[in-house]
Copies of this chain bind each other. A is one copy, B any other.
Amino acid sequence: MPIVDPRPCIDELRAVLPDSVLVTDEDVTLAYSRDMAMLAPSEQPAAVVHARSTDDVVAVVKAAAKYGVGVHPRGAGSGLAGSSNATAGSIVLSLKGMDQILEVNHQDRYARVQPGVVNLDFRTALAEHGLFYPPDPSSFDWCTLGGNLSTNAGGLCCVKYGVTTDFVMGLEVVLADGEVLRTGRRTVKGVAGYDLARVFVGAEGTLGIITEATLMLRPLPEAPATLVATFNDLYDAGAAVQQIIDAGLVPSLLEIMDQTAIRAVDDLHRMELDRSAKALLIAQSDSGGARAEREMDGIEKAARSCGTTELHRTEDVDEGNMLLFARRQALPALEALKGGSLVDDVAVPRSRMADFLCGCEEIGERTGTVIGTCGHAGDGNMHPTICFTPGDEAEYERAKDAFAQILDLGLSMGGTVTGEHGIGSIKMDFLAKEIGEVGLRVHRQIKNALDPQGILNPGKLFTP
């Protein structure tokens, strides 16, 4: 996208938006120029708009369309693929202030929300109604639902409940010309026309800006029972996961950490984890009562028959949270090893998980990098994390090389280059590799149809 002079656009917006909403202060625009993706490029936008309403979003998009200025929608900025990073002279459209839960319908089990609602705040509000919204990315305590929708976020609960798109009933979307589309439904089923809502979910803001969502809810599950098991071999852990799935058990969480991740967490938090273990599995069941006990029995049986070296079970919620804390701390702990980290996000067919983790170890050896992996074992979505020392350029280059090799390894196993973080600007070449020429062409056709000027989140997913 050629850089357009944004000043006439911003001048026009100044006439309709107060100074508190339309901000051009350079400290602010710099602060809003990027998300949490280390690898992603970013440039300084010309303005940040703190949208208060769909009308504000419409005003911004209409002005941007008139002058050909790029618009980057943004939630909390917790993204790990640079999906909300700015281009020079663009407008960052922050939706964080649109943070109202508009309706919670208990009988029909849905909620209508604005995009700026923080995932945790939504969960907390729903719990008071005895209701539950499953998608729980690791950043759930600060990421927003709008970001979750735009990246089709997953989390720890996917093995049982699915990902964001599975809970989307309807959307309000501001299109590239400023028209407002309301699509979807409030019914459980519905097949009237194309599934437009799911075109926008996971499109990373490149097709329209989500200003409201109708989300399907579930009854609040029971307090979870928790099990932790260590293994001397990654393949033993992989076999245990396969046995759990083959037995038809549906844990509400089934996570894995490799030795590097275990040791990193133990270094940081002195949790007396077994540092000699090659893998650690954490499983939960939120089915409650006798059923949870049966599920946990099944998981324990699988772990023992695959040679677990140590196994611990608890029904105590606090103790369970403490055990889960080790998993939740894996990424920060790996980052703390050297001060910097690149978090990858590959999903492979579940049967290939152990092969993939061993492959990542080999890539670490080959590239001379430290790679620790944690991931969602139940669905094969792994987060190999490559550690590097900030300022050490040579090491950083090796880390980037390892990052790319891991993506190729995932593809070679029939996997995908992103299980839940998105393509953003860091995996554009790999999207092309994964979906091929025809796939890319269809992407461009849909993009051109809905955003012919290319003003919505330019520089993401693929080149126009």
Contacts and interface: CB of A to CB of B under 8 A. Distances in A.
A158 B216 CA distance: 14
Nearest to A222: B248
A136 interface: no
Interface in A218-248: 219, 242, 245-246, 248
Interface in A171-219: 175, 179-183, 185-196, 198-199, 201-203, 207, 219
Interface stretch (A6-14, A305-313, A321-329, A411-419): A411-419
A445 B450 contact: yes
B166 A415 contact: no
Contact of A195 (B179, B198, B436): B198
A187 B438 contact: no
B442 A196 contact: yes
A272 to B, nearest CB: 32
Contacts of A165: 195, 198
B199 A423 contact: no
Contacts of A442: 175, 181, 183, 196, 450
B439 A187 contact: no
A461 B193 CA distance: 7
Nearest to A132: B248
Contacts of A419: 187, 189-191
Contacts of A381: 187-189
A422 interface: yes
Nearest to A153: B191
Contacts of A182: 436, 438-439
Nearest to A152: B191
Contacts of A379: 187-189
Contacts of A194: 199, 202-203, 207, 443, 446
Contacts of A422: 191
Contacts of A455: none
A151 interface: yes
A108 interface: yes
Interface string A389-430: 000000000000000000000000011111111110001001
Nearest to A218: B248
Contacts of A463: none
Contact of A191 (B180, B181, B202): B202
B350 A188 contact: yes
Given A199-B195, A442-B450, A450-B442, A347 B190 contact: yes
A166 B166 contact: yes
A152 B443 contact: no
Contact of A416 (B187, B376, B423): B187
Contacts of A439: 181-183, 193, 196
A304 to B, nearest CB: 21
Taking each of A195, A348, A421, which has the highest tally of chain B beta carbons within 10 Å of its own beta carbon? A195
Contacts of A423: 191-193
Contact of A415 (B187, B246, B380): B187
A449 interface: yes
Contacts of A196: 439, 442-443
A35 B187 CA distance: 27
A449 B442 CA distance: 9
A194 B462 CA distance: 11
A66 interface: no
A416 B190 contact: yes
Nearest to A162: B166
Contact of A242 (B107, B187, B189, B191): B107
A350 B189 contact: no
A163 interface: yes
Interface in A320-369: 347-351
Taking each of A181, A194, A443, which has the highest tally of chain B beta carbons within 10 Å of its own beta carbon? A194
B415 A191 contact: no
A347 B188 contact: yes
B107 A192 contact: no
Contacts of A158: 188-189
Interface of A: 105-109, 151-152, 154, 158-159, 163, 165-166, 175, 179-183, 185-196, 198-199, 201-203, 207, 219, 242, 245-246, 248, 290-291, 347-351, 376, 378-381, 414-423, 427, 430-431, 434-436, 438-439, 441-443, 445-446, 448-450, 461-462
